């Protein structure tokens, strides 16, 4: 519980002090640098979910093997209803499936989304800009 409180405090301080500093830094940089920083931040946030998906998969696999949910040796915060047999196996398989979905989504978000964002930026940069004024359609 103390680790969670310390983590929340450090995260709050990072947001409180780091976000304004980061915003000022990015405003002074060029668009290419800003794009690269945004791509890295997006990748780190999404790819940070990969270890959690691995943990969730292992947890579900342990439940399936032991035919018990929560698996033997799992520490719980309060008294928890224990499922055994087919009900535990179903819950374990559900945890494994959710881990797979989370893994796919985190890889798509962490690898494809930054790539696509960069491609969109490069496409907009390479598109020729029109120098002719846009005509008004309101009759004036």
Q: What is the pLDDT of residues 34-92, one digit of tens each?
A: 889 889 999 999 999 999 999 999 999 999 999 999 999 888 888 889 999 999 999 99
- Residue-wise burial string across 14-42, b where 16 or more C-beta atoms lie within 10 A, e elsewhere: eeeeeeeeeeeeeeeeeeeeebeeebeeb
pTM value is 0.72
Q: Where are the domains of the chain?
A: 29-124
- Of 36, 34, 8, 7, the C-alpha closest to 22 is 34
Does residue 104 or residue 11 have the better pLDDT?
A: 104
């Amino acid at each position: 519980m103390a680790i969670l409180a310390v983590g929340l405090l450090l995260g709050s301080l990072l947001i409180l002090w780091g976000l304004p500093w980061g915003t000022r830094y990015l405003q002074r940089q060029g668009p290419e640098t800003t794009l690269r920083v945004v791509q890295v931040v997006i990748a780190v946030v999404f790819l940070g979910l990969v270890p959690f998906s691995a943990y969730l998969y292992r947890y579900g696999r342990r439940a399936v093997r032991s035919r018990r949910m929560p698996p033997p040796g799992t520490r719980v915060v309060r008294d928890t209803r224990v499922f055994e047999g087919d009900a535990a196996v179903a819950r374990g398989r559900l945890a494994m499936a959710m881990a797979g979905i989370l893994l796919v989504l985190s890889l798509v978000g962490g690898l494809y989304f930054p790539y696509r964002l960069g491609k969109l930026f490069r496409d907009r940069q390479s598109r020729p800009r029109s120098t002719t004024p846009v005509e008004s359609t309101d009759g004036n």
